[in-house]
């Protein structure tokens, strides 16, 4: 199942197919569709786990407000995948807790 209309991103048309790497597994997506939509289409429901109780979280609001869909995208933690467009070759990981931040020097 794919999201065809999004409250923030608008009407989503089928576009060019791209490849994403999710937890080391290659998946197909459409360019610029929300990452969360692409992952939901594959059946993935757990996007991150809470800091203290390790509880699973996934798509909840789907409009960028709740942070339940945050993941590590290309090394950047806390990316709201429901409002982040998918790009070819992105490397996406399930996030545990607050995620580890790295500082570029």
Interacting residue ranges for ligand FES, rule: CB under 6 A: 59-62, 64-69, 80, 82
Is 18 or 69 the residue whose CB approaches ligand FES more closely? 69
Is 73 or 80 the residue whose CB approaches ligand FES more closely? 80
Smallest separation, CB 39 to ligand FES (Å): 11
Smallest separation, CB 67 to ligand FES (Å): 5
Residues 6+ apart with CB under 8 A from 12: 2, 3, 4, 5, 6, 30, 32, 33, 34, 37
Spatial distance between the Cα atoms of 35 and 32, rounded to a whole number of angstroms = 8
């Amino acid at each position: 199942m794919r999201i065809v209309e999004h409250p923030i991103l608008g009407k989503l048309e089928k576009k060019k197919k791209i490849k994403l790497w999710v937890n080391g597994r290659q998946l197909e997506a459409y360019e610029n569709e929300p990452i969360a939509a692409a992952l939901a289409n594959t059946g993935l429901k757990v996007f991150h786990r809470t800091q203290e109780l390790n509880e699973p979280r996934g798509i909840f609001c789907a409009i960028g407000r709740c942070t339940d869909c945050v993941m590590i995208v290309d090394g950047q933690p806390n990316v709201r995948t429901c409002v982040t467009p998918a790009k070819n070759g992105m490397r996406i990981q399930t996030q545990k807790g607050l995620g580890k931040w790295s500082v570029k020097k």
